[in-house]
Homo-oligomer: A and B are copies of this chain.
Amino acid sequence: MKKVTLIGSGNLATRLSLAMSATGQFAFQQVYSHTPEHASDLANRLQCTWTTDAKAIRPGADLYIFALKDTALENIAAQVPANNGLWIHTAGSMPMEVFRPYASRYGVLYPLQTFSKQREVNFRQIPLFLESNSTESAALLQEVASLLSDNVRFLSSEKRKNLHLAAVFACNFTNHLYALAGEILEEAGIPFDVLLPLIDETAAKVHDLSPRRAQTGPAVRYDENVIGKQLAMLTDAQTREIYRLLSQSIHQKSQES
């Protein structure tokens, strides 16, 4: 059993710690969160103690997992009393070296997935991207990651930034397009769920075809008649600009190769 202290209680902290707990291979020691309700809720589920004071984080754990907003990470890391555990963070866009002033053994475990507290995900299929400051840390990190997922590899901080940026496009921006589509349907009194087979097929298609080959619709055909009519239907200026820009980008990219 590896002893774990969790620093953070957000979406990722919640889903990662519960997945770790479910393997039966990790014993949680302590949960830190600046919000007492969040710290105590998650500590209850992980059967451990909690604190809202980063300076009260105890030594003795094998792993210190920092799952925090980027803006909080360095500030909190600076407050944690020195210890001999392996410190890891889970952030796509933060370099591993953020830990250098505060710890001797450190690394990164970045899960490429979208997490919500209320939704369980199957960790075994999530790609985990690892980085560590020594061979010894690499071995421990690999061991921990392999207990969680079948899809584990090492990647530098520099390349992890690309991964995070790609994920913003493929997940956060995509989800926002679902939201905008839902608003358009709502205006016509049509329920969102009529879109689900289309959303599912759009995702499934790129398992077999490259996104470029999978593309269909008025923009790639450059059907100016439809594009013009659809632009005119959009009453929100910002949504209209999104439509215009994405249609233009689809058309340009389709001409490139």
Contacts and interface: CB of A to CB of B under 8 A. Distances in A.
A94 to B, nearest CB: 9
A215 B161 contact: no
Contact of A211 (B179, B202, B234): B179
Interface stretch (A26-34, A76-84, A98-106, A240-248): A240-248
A180 B210 CA distance: 11
B166 A195 contact: yes
A17 B253 CA distance: 30
A43 B128 CA distance: 49
A115 B216 contact: yes
A163 B194 contact: yes
A197 B249 contact: no
A209 B188 CA distance: 21
Contacts of A234: 165
Contacts of A127: 194, 197
A206 B226 CA distance: 27
A238 interface: yes
Contact of A70 (B207, B225, B245): B225
Contact of A196 (B172, B177, B182, B206): B206
Contacts of A199: 170-171, 174, 203, 206
Contacts of A158: 188
A121 interface: yes
A139 interface: no
Interface residues of A, number: 96
Given A188-B162, A195-B167, A70 B223 contact: yes
B216 A114 contact: yes
Contacts of A187: 162
Interface in A23-77: 69-71
A146 interface: no
Nearest to A172: B217
Given A113-B197, A119-B208, A245-B241, A202 B162 contact: no
16 contacts: A119-B209, A121-B201, A159-B188, A159-B190, A162-B233, A165-B184, A169-B177, A169-B184, A172-B215, A172-B217, A178-B211, A179-B215, A196-B206, A200-B203, A238-B245, A242-B246
